[in-house]
Amino acid sequence: MTKMFGTNGVRGVVNQDMNVQKALQIGKAIGAVTPGVTAIATDTRYTCDMLKMAVSAGLMSVGCDVIDLGSLPTPALQYYVRTHSVVGGVMITASHNPPQFNGIKVIANDGTEASPQQEEAIEAKYDEEIAPVSWKDTGHTSRYVGAADDYVDAIVSKLDVEAIREANLTVVLDCTNGAAFYTSPLLLRKLGVRAITLNGNPQGEFPGHPSEPTEDNLQDLIKMVKATGASLGIAHDGDADRCVFVDGEGNYVPGDKTLAILARSIVKENGGGIVVTPVATSSVIDETVSSVGGKVVRTAVGSPKVARRMIDDGGIFGGEENGGLIFADHQFCRDGGMAIGRMLESIIKIGPLKEQVDSLVPFYTVKKKLVCPDDLKESVLNFLDENTANIRKDTTDGLKLIFTNGWVLARASGTEPIFRVYAESRDKAVAEELASKYEAMVDEYLSSF
């Protein structure tokens, strides 16, 4: 069987490993597995129309109707799917990847990302001959232009709009030339927040900066926050499911700290509750959530795993350290728009972002990555497991070694020939020492081949 779906759908460089033929066959396979009306949307990449039309043609050829929502953030498509009687959705996006990439992400009918079982079923169909239906049973495409407004209105309805309006805030919003353009400026306008916008034109080659919202890529945002005295800087990735922040003094706030701050604010407001995050996330979340009477549940890496665990365990908030934040009172998927709303509330009700970041217990994380052929990944893990016999372990994803003064996570990448070693401690020297020690162990083992 072809293994197409990675952690976040099928992706590749367009007209090399992602092309019209592949998109057409994926469309047919999706239609064969989940027949019925399917909603489709795209981010702002140049190649989106081509792939959208190919997937749509595939769907229609097997008898499915398509509703074209246009260009939108992924969570806006997910909101549409959850609130309408469609069998699912398809998002054309490569998220934070460079502009030559594009991809196809399948959304289940509850608005969450497709389960591994659904993806496996689509992959199995993909490899088969899928018979087209008779000409008179082929599907049609209709357009719906209101999905951005619906998504924004749903977010606004969950927020304390009056308090946000009264605070009279100015923020700088970096749309990254991506799908955020269609919703985040509108959201801020409806909340009465003055937004100074950067890269606020949808442009598929991402001329402003690469679409991954890293500190390096957000230097213009940082400068603009400092120059304008804004209370907050906001940035999204290409499809605006992720959201990262810059504090009022122009400091980039790492995603694990944002996660901890919003978790504290949400758990406090709920008087307790479960927060879900993968094993790789900093321990700052445990310290912060337990300080307000909440509980942290850990999952394997990947936002669909976090979302599904939140549904199963009744989690009120969850997310990843890369700015992917999931709010149970809105929807079970990464939600860049809702992240803005909750961050604004947190600033107004708790205090400036800088103060909130400074109040967190400091942890130091060191991340190493080693080149590792796919066929050796499992034996590296086994080797580490055998050579760490008396250490406390967590095997939720890879191997997490837990020490009294820190932890090490050894984990193979699911998408690249890479093995990662993360170490964390409250003591910087300990974090560095742990990372170097286990990196050296993996390196030595790999060089024996």
Which chain residues interact with Mg ion by CB under 5 A? 95, 237, 239, 241
Nearer Cβ to Mg ion (74/425): 74
Nearer Cβ to Mg ion (64/339): 339
Please state, in angstroms and rounded to a whole number, the distance separating the CA atoms of residues 365 and 309. 25
Token duo for residue 51: 């792939």
What is the secondary structure of 45-110 as a DSSP string? Answer: -TTHHHHHHHHHHHHHHTT--EEEEEE--HHHHHHHHHHTT-SEEEEE--TTS-TTEEEEEEE-TT
Minimum Å distance from CB 242 to Mg ion? 5
Contact between 262 and 343 (Cβ < 8 Å)? yes
Minimum Å distance from CB 239 to Mg ion? 4
Pick from 416, 266, 405: nearest CA to 341: 266
Contact between 411 and 280 (Cβ < 8 Å)? yes
Nearest residue relative to Mg ion (C-beta): 95
Nearer Cβ to Mg ion (265/331): 331
Minimum Å distance from CB 9 to Mg ion? 10
Which residue in 95, 211, 231, 346 is the catalytic one? 95
Nearer Cβ to Mg ion (241/345): 241
Minimum Å distance from CB 354 to Mg ion? 26
Minimum Å distance from CB 73 to Mg ion? 9
Nearer Cβ to Mg ion (8/61): 8
Q: How far is CA 357 from CA 246, 249, 251, 284, 285, in A?
A: 11, 12, 10, 11, 12
95 catalytic residue (yes or no): yes
Pick from 425, 412, 424: nearest CA to 384: 412
| b (16+ CB within 10 A) / e for 79-115 | bbbbebebbbbbbbbbbbbebbbbbbbbbbbebbbbe
**Residues designated as active site:** 95
